[in-house]
Amino acid sequence: MTTYVLIPGAASDSWYWHLLAAELRARGHDVVTPDLPCDDDSAGLSEYADVVVDAIGDRGDLVVVAQSFGGFTAPLVCERVPVGLLVLLTAMVPSPGEPPGAWWANTGWEAARREQDERDGRAPDDDTALFLHDVPPELTAEAMRRGRGQSATPFAEPWPLDAWPSVPTRFLLCRDDRFFPAEFMRRVVAERLGTVPDEIGGGHSVALSRPGELADRLEAYRAVTNGHAGT
């Protein structure tokens, strides 16, 4: 049985994954959705990885999926437990020694976001339009109600790995993402992973807007990896 380990982004929790988790369980898989200590100022990236590793326990046949800021935690997990596949879902891709707080300037994110906002006509303070524009209204309301605080502590720490972990890695960007615009992410993935990302429709919160389609993509990745058809 495959275990999918779903790592959320900043200021988020396991609820974000609840629809995708249901889809994957219905297909016969185990799913682990740890809640990271995002509002704990004493917790950094190492502690985030600790939480994920503890939640995995002695499970095997692991597929790790990391969304957004989860891209800084997932590779640390892959260094500590045997992972068969890492999927970065519209995620930040760190460089060795780079603090997450420096990622924005290092990648040119601010200019890319500003250009995307101008194309969309989005007001600067409209977070619903930024993160949840294609999510059903009832889920949008619940997501906003469940928002958590995000400590700055992990953003100040250098990413501790010297290189990307030796694990098959796929990147899945969201073509309608307003927070990490698609053109921007294509460039970041090419520069930092040396690969061409795969693409899916939907915005930054694709696990809420298209859980079935996302599950299909993850299952296709798993099948290819298990069949040794390359990643």
147-172 pLDDT per residue, tens: 899 999 999 999 999 999 999 999 99
Is residue 230's pLDDT more than 70? no
- Rounded Cα distance between 103 and 194, Å, is 17
Q: What is the mean pLDDT of residues 44-62?
A: 98
Largest CA distance in the chain: 48
The confidence score (pLDDT) of residue 226 equals 83
The confidence score (pLDDT) of residue 17 equals 98
- Rounded Cα distance between 104 and 214, Å, is 26
Inter-residue contact 164 to 31 (CB < 8 Å) = no
**Per-residue pLDDT tens over the stretch 68-95:** 999 999 999 999 999 999 999 999 999 9
- Rounded Cα distance between 183 and 173, Å, is 10
The confidence score (pLDDT) of residue 229 equals 37
- Rounded Cα distance between 176 and 173, Å, is 9
Is residue 228's pLDDT more than 50? no
The confidence score (pLDDT) of residue 124 equals 82
CA–CA distance from 64 to each of 75, 82, 107 (Å)?
Answer: 9, 10, 24
**Per-residue pLDDT tens over the stretch 96-146:** 999 999 999 999 999 999 999 999 999 988 999 999 999 999 999 999 999
Write the secondary structure of 166-192 as one string of H (helix), E (strand) and C (coil).
CCCEEEEEECCCCCCCHHHHHHHHHHH
Q: Report the predicted TM-score, pTM, of the whole model to 2 decimal places.
A: 0.96
- Rounded Cα distance between 71 and 193, Å, is 12
* Better pLDDT: 36 or 1: 36
Is residue 184's pLDDT more than 80? yes
Token match 């990745």: residue?
Answer: 221
- Which segments of 93-222 are extended strands (E)? 169-174, 198-200
- Rounded Cα distance between 73 and 195, Å, is 20
Is residue 231's pLDDT more than 80? no
**Per-residue pLDDT tens over the stretch 21-51:** 999 999 999 999 999 999 999 999 999 999 9
Token match 């053109």: residue?
Answer: 183
Both tokens of residue 37? 């200590």
